[in-house]
Each structure stands twice: as C-alpha cells, then as structure tokens.
Amino acid sequence: GNSVTQMEGPVTLSEEAFLTINCTYTATGYPSLFWYVQYPGEGLQLLLKATKADDKGSNKGFEATYRKETTSFHLEKGSVQVSDSAVYFCALSVIAGGTSYGKLTFGQGTILTVHP
Amino acid sequence: GAGVSQSPSNKVTEKGKDVELRCDPISGHTALYWYRQSLGQGLEFLIYFQGNSAPDKSGLPSDRFSAERTGGSVSTLTIQRTQQEDSAVYLCASSSGPGQGIFSTEAFFGQGTRLTVV
C-alpha cells in the first residue's frame, strides 16, 4: 500500500533559523509528491509539489526535491519567519493506468512554531 | 464559488444521532473528496467522487457512513448513529478532474466541519 512518514515534531525555531522537515514514502505505482500547509484557523493549502524524480518544488521560500532513490521529499527553508508557524503535511498521490485521480495519502503532520 | 464551502463549520451532536455534513465544491470541479482529520489518526481519505459516481469509497470506516453527490456539485456526508470515535474534523476537497500522466491536478480544500459527539 501507500504510506507517508514525516517527522512529527513539534518543531520550534527562532526566526531566521533553517528548517528541515523530513518526509519519506512508500508507494505502489508512480507517485506525485506534495507539501500542504494548514495555517491557524485556515484550511489546507497546497504549498508545493513535484511530479517526477529529481523535480524540485518551490514556493514562498520553501523547497523540496523528489528523491526516488531515497524515497524522500524533505521540506526545507533557509530562513523561517513567524508567519510560517503552521502545520505541514507531506502527501502523495499515485498514478495508476496513466491517470491520477488525486486521492491523497498524508503523513501525520508536523507542527512548526517560529518565535521572534 | 470562490472556494470550497463546507457547512456547518461546527456541529455538536449526541451519541446515536444522525448528522449530515455538506460540501459545496468549486464551480466546475468534477472531482470531490472527503477526508477526516482526527487526533492520533492524522488525515484519512474517506471517499472520492467523479461527477455523481463514487469510484473509490474504500476509506469509509463503517456502514454508518455514506455520501452522495447530486448534479455533479454539492455533496453530503451522512453519519448514522454517531459514536464518540466519529469526533473529528471532516474536510472536503475538489479538483478539476483526474490528472493525466504525470500531471496531477491540485485539490482545493474547504475549512472543514468540526464534529463533536457527546
């Protein structure tokens, strides 16, 4: 089956610190990989995605590279801000028969708190 | 609409009662998904609709759970004889349809319905 394992946290950092949240996956088929973010009081939003090996997704200073050899998709940001405080979810969607119907398998989520 | 809309935003119900949760997807989105977010279980897939049909309902936890979608738009998730373990945030998402090849289409999420069974 498909599964996603991510660093559970919670993670607490000072502003301008470097962030890494680890994510590894197992999948049958060829997965697309995603990071979703849930800000306090808001719904889940797509942060970035990568659809094939060695692709790098990036958005808002966050990056993640699809590493097929290590089945990983770690999230990184060079300098976090207080406004990055949120819950981050790693997820995958598997393509089968040439079609991905978008069903997402999520990791457990990582709570990030950034202090000034 | 501008985004995925879910109602109610909060629902408190007594154990044993039935509840209905509603999802209004983004206009024109043919794919609709329900997920459940609970402590200890994370985010779990419940059911997927393409148009009015549900080709994947593998995540529904028991026969007390059912969902329908009418007119290719609004969807209702119904939980019968609610139990305390049904307490969770129920999330709905929609997308423009199945992706082809390597192109996965983005799913847009609503803010969820927080269900508390007392």
The pLDDT tens digits for B69-96 are 998 899 999 999 999 999 999 999 998 8
Percent of chain B with pLDDT over 90: 72
The three-class DSSP label of residue A25 is strand
The amino acid at A5: T
CB-based contact A102 B101, cutoff 8 Å: no
How many CA atoms lie within 13 Å of B104's alpha carbon, on the beta-carbon side?
Answer: 25
- Name the amino acid, one letter, at A25: Y
pLDDT at B98 over 80: no
Tell me the chain A residues in contact with residue B42 when contact means C-beta distances shorter than 8 Å: 106-109
> What does the buried/exposed string (b/e) look like for A54-72 if buried means 16 or more CB atoms within 10 Å of the residue's CB?
ebebeeeebbbbbbeeebb
Mark which residues 30-59 of B lie under 8 Å from A by CB: 31, 33, 35, 42-45, 48, 50, 55-56
- Answer whether residue B100 shows pLDDT above 60: no
C-alpha distances in Å from residue A16, one per residue of A23, A51, A65: 22, 29, 21
Q: Is A45 exposed, middle or buried (0-12, 13-18, 19+ CB in 10 A)?
A: middle
Mean pLDDT of chain A: 91
Residues in B closer than 8 angstroms to A6, CB to CB, are: none
What is residue A1's predicted lDDT score, i.e. its pLDDT?
82
8 A C-beta contact, residue A33 and residue A91: yes
CA nearest B91: which of B13, B32, B16, B17? B32
Mean pLDDT of A74-78: 98
Amino acid sitting at position A95: I
User: Taking residues A9-21, what's their average pLDDT?
Assistant: 95
- Taking contacts as CB-CB distances below 8 angstroms, the residues of chain B near A55 are none
Do residues A110 and A6 touch, judged by C-beta distance below 8 A?
yes
Please give the full DSSP string across A53-110, using - where no structure is assigned.
TT-EEEETTEEEE-BTTTTB--EEESS--GGG-EEEEEEEEEEBTTEE----EE---E
Once rounded to an integer, what is the mean pLDDT over residues B111-117? 96
Residues in Cβ contact with B95 at an 8 Å cutoff, skipping those fewer than 6 apart? A102, B29, B31, B33, B105, B106, B107, B108
pLDDT for residue B65 is more than 60? yes
Residue with more model confidence, A88 or B41: A88
Whether residues B98 and A52 touch (CB distance < 8 A) is answered with: no
